[in-house]
Chain A
């Protein structure tokens, strides 16, 4: 049982609970989508551990499928965020087509026998650029915002930190995956990923709380 309780699963589960409590009555489907997405994330993580530790089989296929879902949800959410400023439907469609081509090509190249790491990196780059574009739109708009309580800002902050640090870790510290220390029992790469996971889920949870507070304030002022 203890194998299922890791920093990642605990963080995801906590974020799921926060999303359930804060977004359940949200009027925007894009925000409510995170309840399902985080539930699936927790399930995928648990399934991954089960396949690896109980069935003793590789679990990459679960993560391959999940990557597709992750890309869809995050891209759609960015599209929703941009909608306040401009219509980016074409950009979203173009990006999803490019990603789907890349993903399929990599799957076929690997003969469906390995994790699609290049597609994962491509998605990370795409989402980092999307985050930077969101900041650009935020800077360009004439009005200022209360950023400390602005939910989209905190969601994007978590996302950019996670994917930026993740991509850097993947590219430059891959050798760290081999080193295990008896006192800790994990590779440095695993621990760095756990840290950025915590940052991601803390940031998202805070964004959900901001969203909840915004909804409560706007409904009480009506």
Chain B
């Protein structure tokens, strides 16, 4: 059988294409799958970077909060006590020995109070380090400090046990707690605050309840006053957790994060 050269070329072309379809498809599939893996790697790297950024931001905010409290305390309490001590001492007249004793005692009392306040303050600076001892210790310290002002009724219950390799998550969680506590004290004008840290094998739940004014989340977000709320939601999502907010008749915020 003799076939024309045109037919033969067509046949050769067709045969070559057909024979190469299977291996070429396989190669294209491997390349596409590899590209998908590459995109997944990039997404993972981006998530890791944003987690690290958020962690750094949280650490800085914890420090900032501490410094603000420190400055306020120095100005409002210790500064006043020392000024009063200085005024008391300056009014001492050596020619009135009966009053000298009384004024020295008074100045001494003021100085002692200033020393006590300073001790408390130094514990607050140390409080930054408390996150290293575990979340519950840091929360307890923050609440203790608030309790000293005698303006709030505070309860705290916890069955927390620290676990290895969760420190970064705890820093972010602690910063979220600080933000919520700040909102309760400053904006909600709460007088009672109830904090519960509940832990099981796989998760950690932090519940903060107050009897303050409450709010409507949508309205707060619409008026762009809700940066704190937005940050709370964003950070909880970043550590793979969930947050639920109920803000009628006080506020109850519940955060559940995986804690393997």
Which of A's residues lie within 8 Å of B, judged by CB?
131-132, 135, 138-139, 142-145, 147, 153, 157, 160-161, 164-165, 168-169, 173, 176, 178-179, 181-184, 188, 191-192, 195-196, 199
Contact = CB atoms under 8 A, between A and B. Distances in A.
B12 interface: yes
Contacts, number: 76
B8 A181 contact: yes
Interface string B13-57: 001101110111011001101110110110000000000000000
A97 to B, nearest CB: 27
Contact of A169 (B5, B19, B33): B19
Contacts of A182: 5
B2 interface: yes
A132 B23 CA distance: 9
A134 B30 CA distance: 11
Given A138-B30, A144-B38, A192 B16 contact: yes
Contact of A139 (B24, B33, B40): B33
Nearest to B26: A135
Interface of B: 1-5, 8-9, 11-12, 15-16, 18-20, 22-24, 26-27, 30-31, 33-35, 37-38, 40-41
B15 A132 contact: no
Dominant SS at the B interface?
A: helix
Contact of B12 (A157, A161, A188): A188
25 contacts: A135-B30, A142-B37, A143-B37, A144-B41, A153-B30, A157-B27, A160-B23, A160-B26, A164-B23, A165-B19, A165-B20, A168-B19, A176-B15, A178-B1, A184-B9, A188-B8, A188-B11, A191-B12, A192-B15, A192-B16, A195-B16, A196-B16, A196-B19, A196-B20, A199-B20
A160 B28 CA distance: 13
A191 B3 CA distance: 15
A184 B4 CA distance: 10
Dominant SS at the A interface?
A: helix
B19 A181 contact: no
B82 to A, nearest CB: 62
B12 A192 contact: yes
A176 to B, nearest CB: 8
Contact of B1 (A131, A179, A199): A179
Nearest to B16: A195
A138 B33 CA distance: 10
Given A135-B30, A157-B27, A192-B16, A144 B22 contact: no
